[in-house]
Each structure stands twice: as C-alpha cells, then as structure tokens.
Amino acid sequence: MTERRDTFIDTHVHLDAPEFLPDLAAVRARARDRGVACCVLPAVQAQDFERARALAHEFGDAYALGIHPLYVAAAEDEDLARLDQALTRHRDDPRLVAVGEIGLDLFVPALCEEPLRTRQLFFYRAQLKLAKKHGLPVILHVRRSADLLLQGLRDLAGPGQAWLGIAHAFSGSLQQAQAFTALGFKLGFGGALTYERATKLRELARVLPLEALVLETDAPDIPPHWLYTTAAQREQGLAQGRNEPGELPRIAQTLAELRGLDLAQLARATRANALAALPRLGPLLGAPASAAVACRD
C-alpha cells in the first residue's frame, strides 16, 4: 500500500540511543500515529551497525552506516574496513539508504586539537570514498565545520560528478547552505529552529528554496523549545523533556509558519526532498525510485 504523501520523514533519529531502551516500541508507535511514516537511523560507530539495521527492519524504517566524528577517538583504523564490509554485505538491503553519520565536529575543544583534528579528517575523507565506492548518499555531521566538509566533497567528487545526501542539523551561513545545495545536498532542520532566539537559523529556514529543506529530530538530542529546561530548572528538579520522532510534526508546524505554508504542503515538499536526497527511501514508501544516483568512482 502506498503511503500518504502528506506524512513525514524523520531524516535523522537515533532510535538505538539508550534513552529509548525502556519504551522504544511505544516511541515508534507514537511517532507513526502522529504521521511520521519513516525514520532514518544513522549509526555512529562500528559496534552499532547491526543494531541500527535490526531496528530499521523491526520498525519498517531505514538506516545508514558510518562512524561519527565524536567517536573517532575510540575508533580503530580497522573500523573503516568493517564499514566497507558491512556496506558490501548489505548492498542489496533496500533499507540501507546512506553512509552516515559522518563528518567533522570543530565545536568540541578536544576535537579541534591534534591528533584528533587530523584523525577526524582522515575518517571523513575515507568514508566519503566508501560512499562513492558503494554508490550511496552521505549524511553529514556539520558542526562549525562547513567549509572543511565542502572542501572534502569538492576534492573527492570528480569531474562532472555530484553528491547526494543531507547536511544534518544545518546551522551555517546562507553562502554555505548554497554551496551544499549546489553540490547536491539537502539541509536538515529540526528542534533548534523552534527557539525564537535562533534568529539567524529561523531566517535561513525561511529564505532558502523549499526544495533544499528536509525535516529531522536528531532525537533524543536537540529538543524543541517545549521540551527544554534550563540549568536552574533542572536544579529545582524539573526533568529535561525527551526528544523523540513523534515531535516532528510540531517542529514542522514551526517551519510551515515561518514560510507561510500549511502543514500538509510542507509535509509533501519535505517528503519529496528526502526521497531526492536518499533515493532508496522511495521504494520503501511506495514512490518511484529516483533516477538520480549517488557519486561514484
């Protein structure tokens, strides 16, 4: 049965996070009841590859395999070979939609210093090469690292080739946004844009072409404003609300209001954008497979 086109795709959610262990099935069921038809589950380290895959199959979702920049300090060089082997082993799995979550993080101070800065770059570029080898899009972690990520993409694309994928939790400049979209990327927006003080991010979400945007929660991380508690509130015993994929429609409503769209309109547009960024999602949701292909050697 073909899914409705006004349902939502959460293009980035970590259902394998320990925060969801007590009630994971209920979390996913709640999201589906609220119109989240599909979640993309990116792995963050080699030991999580099979867990991400198993959850995607259990809940009818999709997954990506990669080594996150926050995990490169603990990763072994052999983990890149493990990633290559997993991508080969599961190449015919329709639920494998990307290489990710990969990228660079220059927000965490320790990762800005040597040797971890260079190690991040090594893992990033090696995983871009694996994405090309396996013909898959990439899901990028972009945290104060947009220009270096763009440089790697340009260096490795090859003449006349284009990438597919998503720059997750995007918060760069308009110029950087335009550079990513020119290379074939969509930009992920989530809970951060629900904060009125995030004026630059909200303006970016408002003025970018609609075809550049996809929705995400990054749950359990990046809670929307209605789940956030301050340090003072936490000291007084008020718990931080847990972000989950079921929050996506309400996040989408914020984006729809910023752009002057109705929610169903935004759902259809961002769903189409997600299918363009991650073409293997199309057949999972009863949509025609995209003719676009990821960057290959």
Q: CATH number for the domain including 135?
A: 3.20.20.140
Local structure of 3: helix, strand or coil: coil
Q: Which residues are annotated as a binding site for a divalent metal cation?
A: 12, 14, 101, 141, 168, 218
Q: Say if 294 falls within a structural domain.
A: no
Model pLDDT for residues 178-201, shown as the tens digit of each residue: 999 999 999 999 999 999 999 999
Q: Average pLDDT for residues 146-155, to the nearest whole number? A: 96
- Domain residue limits at 139: 8-285
Q: Say if 157 falls within a structural domain.
A: yes
For the beta sheet containing 165-168, the strands, ordered from the edge strand earlier in sequence to the opposite edge, are 8-10, 36-42, 62-65, 96-105, 138-143, 165-168, 185-189, 213-215
Q: Which residues are annotated as a binding site?
A: 12, 14, 101, 141, 168, 218
Q: Say if 47 falls within a structural domain.
A: yes
Domain count along the chain:
1
Per-residue pLDDT at 146 exceeds 80: yes
Alpha helices in 135-247 (DSSP H): 146-157, 174-182, 199-207, 231-235
Quickly state the pLDDT bin for 96 (edges 50, 70, 90).
very high
**Which pTM does this prediction carry?**
0.94
Quickly state the pLDDT bin for 291 (edges 50, 70, 90).
very low
Q: Say if 3 falls within a structural domain.
A: no
**pLDDT value of residue 235:** 77
Q: Say if 295 falls within a structural domain.
A: no
Q: Say if 226 falls within a structural domain.
A: yes
Q: Say if 293 falls within a structural domain.
A: no
